A and B are shown apart, each in its own frame.
Chain A
Amino acid sequence: MTTIPLDSLNAGEQGHITGLAGAPDVRRRLMEMGLTPGTLLRVVRFAPLGDPIDIEVRGYHLSLRKHDARQIMLLRQ
């Protein structure tokens, strides 16, 4: 199975995080917010103008720009 970046998921789809890339500070912050490899993540919706994204992770909602979401790789479930 291939992994895909978070921003290419559709609203309502979910997947497990396989890895994070990108700027070290952003990557670190995302992991501190609970987006560590193996975590289940669900795309809830996109903002009315298409960006940012509302995701659900570890039982709470987090919003991210697509630009940053692109750095999060997932295994679609």
Chain B
Amino acid sequence: MSICAADPSVSGGQRIFTIAVMGNPNCGKTTLFNALTGLRHKVGNYPGVTVEKREGAVSGEPSLRLLDLPGTYSLSARSPDEQIARDVLLGCLEDTPRPDGVLIVIDATNLERNLYLASQVLELGLPAVIACNMMDLLREAGHELDIRELSQRLQAPVIPTIGHRGVGIDKLKAALRDLCTAQRSVNRPRQWSLHEELEKEVRHVAAAMTASGFASPEGANGAALLFLSERELPANDHLPSLVSHSLSEAQERLRVHPELDVSLEVTAGRYAWLGELVDACLKRSERNLHGATDKLDRIFTHKVWGLVCFAAMMGLLFYSIFVLARPLMGLIETGVEGLQQFTARHLAAGPLRDLLTDGVIAGVGNVIVFFPQICILFLFIALLEDTGYMARAAFLMERIMSRVGLPGKSFIPLLSSHACAIPGIMATRVIENPKDRLATILVAPLMSCSARLPVYTVLIAACLPGNPWTKATVLLSMYGLGLITALTMATVFKKTILRGPTPAFIMELPPYRVPRLSAVLFVMWDRSKVFLTRAGTIILAITILLWAATHYPQNAQRAAHYEAQREAVLASGAADAESRLEAIAREEAADQLQHSYAGRLGRLIEPVIRPLGYDWRIGIGLVASFAAREAFVSTMGVVYGVGEADEATPSLHKRLREAQWPDGRPLFTPLVAVGLMVFYVLACQCVSTIAVVRRETNSWRWPAFQLAYMTGLAYMGALLVYQVGSALGIGS
């Protein structure tokens, strides 16, 4: 089995060379990748994981294809990112052939730690080029780096670069071209030694790797050391049996040497060698490399000012996605409505017109209406990440969030979810630990988003007695309920289904950098686009489905009945013909909805929602809310025959207050209204959320679970409110 022998991919008669790009987080790898590819690349996912896969051709060099690997500190496989990076380099990842070479990006201002990863990669024997980035910062501080010496000692070409200014890019391209022309593995023997026993086992395993074709003779020692330094055999069925046998035997033999501390051997040995290497290449000046960062951190992580600045920044973020996005969203909504009216006017009445206006155009509207919020949030996040403040935010919030078992980085996604869970869930990408990320995704939709506000407003205005203060208190309680439930559920999930050892919090606080507008905008666009292409399609499909559910089946008899009424009005020539026609249209819409699939579903679930104090009409509202929660308001407008309505329509308030059960009891009592609000706080009635969770977790399992647990919570919550309230005789 030769998994590693990559077939040369050929395109248009020209051999395509794949070069993997590796580097530590914050080393400027992405900036270099963008500079080399000229911002043209594809974003995808590695199979089965949510690690992003970015590929692009070097601009002006169509035969050179770059594959941007996740930023990592080492090649040991403890996180999905690291595992992907290692497996790609070793050529044992499905769908991704072993690269023809590597571009290793190192941060010149942090050589030892960056070279730790670089030297691990170099020992794998692949043809390699090293980009020594951030040379400007090094020179400004008066340090001198002997590039030639560094290159000689590492046995690979080193190109000094300044990524954001494009300095060194041409030389880098030339070096990558040379690398592909030479095209052969390079033997770079490890220049530091291990414990005798470990050294022996490395040779054994390396022999098995070479014999089975798993690694090249030049890279086998490096690969063998990587696997041997893991405590357990990798759960990786891509290893040839010869290799896995030899590995487990070697580890068995190593276990009888308790004095042999493998972790210490492989890390301390490498760092000792790197310490000497850097001393020989770098002439340090007295000046501090990170003087500005130290000064800024005195404010941003200060006991008082740090928290004040953080609160101000989060306030600004919240304000922007909540308030600034509004006019843009309004604009989009107006545009969508205009388009609907346009098609309604220019197409003949019929199923096709309805499908286009109320299904397709409304569906597209449902997708792009989120776009302003998503763009603004990602703009903020990109800014926070690019400046280095994101790590400080996590540093400040770590303690508070750890109380509920979440990492500090969950704060921003959860805060943003108050505007909308869609961008909030997408923002969880900043959380490295998969279980922490999943827990955050699962509870994010419990935060009261802006789509719930119209529902709260209409119910409070129409159904609750009392002065404005009482009403405001109820509204705030709904936000509080969402927040408290989310934090409680996070704790529950982290203690049950997402239980695991608390991941160590080992986070670099990178130096502050001036953000570059182009890079920030690029990241914003890159991530927002993913929403449109991946989640958008699902949202569109489900919106069309829900539209069909509220408009079908249609009944010719009913249509004829209303048509006859209309003709009678027109024939009578009455002065109030127009208003009577409108009344007929409202009645017909209500009639149609009641007899539609959604209407039938509303009746079908009536026995289930009866204990909550709801009738089938509210049932229809609940069903229709899945398109978007605010659809509850417009659906109630149709059900109660007030036509087009929003939360401020007085006629809708009146009709809700007057609504009755068949026996004459009022339907929307204050108790039912509060119970309904609690239901809306807790329920996951949002197809867009489901679509985004599907996209972000790469499976239907988690969105299904989320829908189930949130619906369960909502039902229990509303049941509790109604039954306890009724028993105590409150608010009936």
Please state if A62 and B506 are interface contacts (CB–CB under 8 Å).
yes
A30 interface residue per 8 A CB criterion: yes
A26 within 8 A of B: yes
**Of B272, B303, B509, the contact of A61 (CB 8 Å cutoff):** B509
Can you offer 17 A-B residue contacts whose CB atoms are under 8 A? A25-B231, A30-B504, A31-B267, A31-B268, A31-B271, A36-B267, A36-B271, A48-B396, A51-B398, A52-B399, A54-B297, A58-B113, A60-B509, A61-B509, A63-B391, A64-B506, A68-B504
| A49-B400 contact in complex given A34-B271, A54-B301, A63-B395, C-beta closer than 8 Å | yes
Chain B residues lying within 8 Å of A34, measured Cβ to Cβ, are: 112-113, 116, 271
A32 to B272, CA, bound (A): 12
Report the nearest A residue to B304, measured CB to CB.
Answer: A48
Identify the B interface with A (CB < 8 A): 73-74, 76, 78, 109-110, 112-113, 116, 231, 263-264, 267-268, 271-272, 289-290, 293, 297, 301-304, 306-307, 391, 395-396, 398-400, 402, 501, 504-510
Question: Would A31 and B263 be within 8 Å (CB), given that A23-B501, A36-B271 are in contact?
Answer: yes
Name the interface residues of A11-45: CB closer than 8 Å to any CB of B.
23-34, 36-39, 44-45
Instruction: Name which of A30, A44, A60, A68 has the most chain B CB atoms within 10 A of its CB.
Output: A60
Task: Determine how close the nearest CB of chain B comes to the CB of A60; give it in whole angstroms.
Answer: 5
- Distance (Å) between the CB of B427 and the closest chain A CB? 21
- Beta-carbon contact of A29 and B271 below 8 Å: no
Given the known inter-chain contacts A34-B116, A48-B396, please indicate yes or no for A64 contacting B109, CB distance below 8 A: no
**CA separation between A23 and B263, bound complex, in Å?**
12
Given contacts A60-B508, A64-B506, are A32 and B289 in contact (CB under 8 A)? no
A residues in contact with B109, CB < 8 Å? 59
Q: Residue on A with the closest CB to B504?
A: A26
B303 touching A60 by the CB < 8 A rule?
no
Q: How far is the CB of B510 from chain A (nearest CB, A)?
A: 8
Interface centre among A30, A50, A59, A68 (most CB of B within 10 A): A59
Quick one: which of A29, A31, A49, A64 contacts B264, CB cutoff 8 A?
A31
Contacts of B301 in A (CB 8 A): 45, 47-48, 54
Do A23 and B504 contact each other (CB < 8 Å), given the known contacts A36-B268, A59-B109, A59-B110?
Answer: yes
B268 in contact with A32 (CB, 8 Å): no
Interface residues of A in 57-77 (CB under 8 A from B): 58-65, 68
Minimum Cβ distance to chain B for residue A40 (Å): 11
Chain A residues, CB < 8 A from B268: 31, 36-38
Q: Least Cβ distance of B584 to chain A in Å? A: 64
Docked pose: A62 CA to B24 CA in angstroms: 14
Which one of A36, A49, A52 lies within 8 Å of B505 (CB-CB)?
A52
The answer to whether B264 touches A37 (Cβ under 8 A) is yes
A24, A37, A45, A59: the one contacting B231 at CB < 8 Å is A24
A64 and B289 contact, CB distance less than 8 A: no
Taking Cβ atoms with an 8 Å cutoff, the residues of A that contact B are 23-34, 36-39, 44-45, 47-52, 54, 58-65, 68
Do residues A68 and B267 form an inter-chain contact, with CB atoms below 8 A? no
Q: How far is the CA of A14 from the CA of B391 in the complex (A)?
A: 23
Q: A59-B109, A59-B289 are in contact. Are A65 and B504 (CB under 8 A)?
A: yes
Cα distance, A40 to B272, chains bound together (Å): 13
Residues of B close to A50: CB separation below 8 A: 399
- Say yes or no: A52-B113 contact (C-beta < 8 A), given A32-B73, A33-B73: no
Bound CA span A26–B302, Å: 28
Q: Which residues of B contact A51 (CB under 8 A)?
A: 398-399
**A48-B306, A54-B509, A68-B505 known; A28 and B398 CB under 8 Å?**
no
Specify the chain B residue showing the minimal Cβ separation from A49.
Answer: B399
A63 touches B116 (CB 8 A): no
Q: Are A28 and B267 in contact (CB under 8 A)?
A: yes
Known: A32-B73, A34-B271. A59 touches B505 (CB 8 A): no
Cα–Cα, bound, A51→B505 (Å): 11
**In contact, A32 and B504 (Cβ under 8 angstroms):** no
- Chain B neighbourhood of A25, CB < 8 A: 78, 231, 504
Chain B residues, CB < 8 A from A48: 301-304, 306-307, 396
Given A54-B301, A64-B506, A59 and B399 touching (CB < 8 A)? no
- Give the contacting residue for B112; candidates A44, A58, A64; CB below 8 A: A58
Q: Using Cβ atoms and an 8 Å threshold, which residues of chain A touch B302?
A: 48
Is A60 in contact with B110, judged by CB distance below 8 angstroms? yes
The residue in B74, B231, B400, B504 that gathers the most chain A C-beta atoms within 10 A of its C-beta is B504
Interchain CA distance A36-B399 in the complex, whole Å: 26
- Give the residues in chain A near B501, CB-CB below 8 Å: 23
Chain B minimum-CB-distance residue to A26: B504
The residue that A62 contacts in the complex, of B112, B271, B293, B509, with Cβ under 8 A, is: B509
Can you add 19 more A-B contacts, CB < 8 Å, to A33-B73, A54-B395, A61-B293? A23-B504, A27-B263, A31-B264, A32-B73, A34-B116, A36-B264, A36-B272, A38-B268, A45-B301, A47-B395, A47-B396, A52-B398, A58-B110, A58-B112, A60-B510, A61-B290, A64-B504, A64-B505, A64-B506
Query: What's the Cα separation between A31 and B76 when bound, in Å?
Result: 12
- Asked whether A24 lies within 8 Å of B263 as measured between CB atoms, the reply is yes
Contact A62/B508 with A32-B116, A48-B307 known, Cβ cut-off 8 Å: yes
A68 touches B506 (CB 8 A): yes
Q: How far is the CB of B137 from chain A (nearest CB, A)?
A: 12
A52 to B76, CA, bound (A): 25
Complex-state Cα separation, A51 to B263, whole angstroms: 27
Shortest Cβ distance from residue A45 to the other chain B in the assembled complex, whole angstroms: 6
Of the listed residues B74, B399, B402, the one surrounded by the most CB atoms of chain A closer than 10 A to its CB is: B399
A63-B263 CB under 8 A given contacts A36-B271, A51-B398, A58-B113: no
- Taken together as a complex, chains A and B put the C-alpha atoms of A64 and B293 apart, in Å, by 19
In the assembled complex, the Cα of A54 lies from the Cα of B297 at a distance in Å of 10
Q: Which chain A residue lies CB-closest to B294? A: A44
In the complex the two chains form, what is the Cα distance from A54 to B511 in whole Å?
A: 13
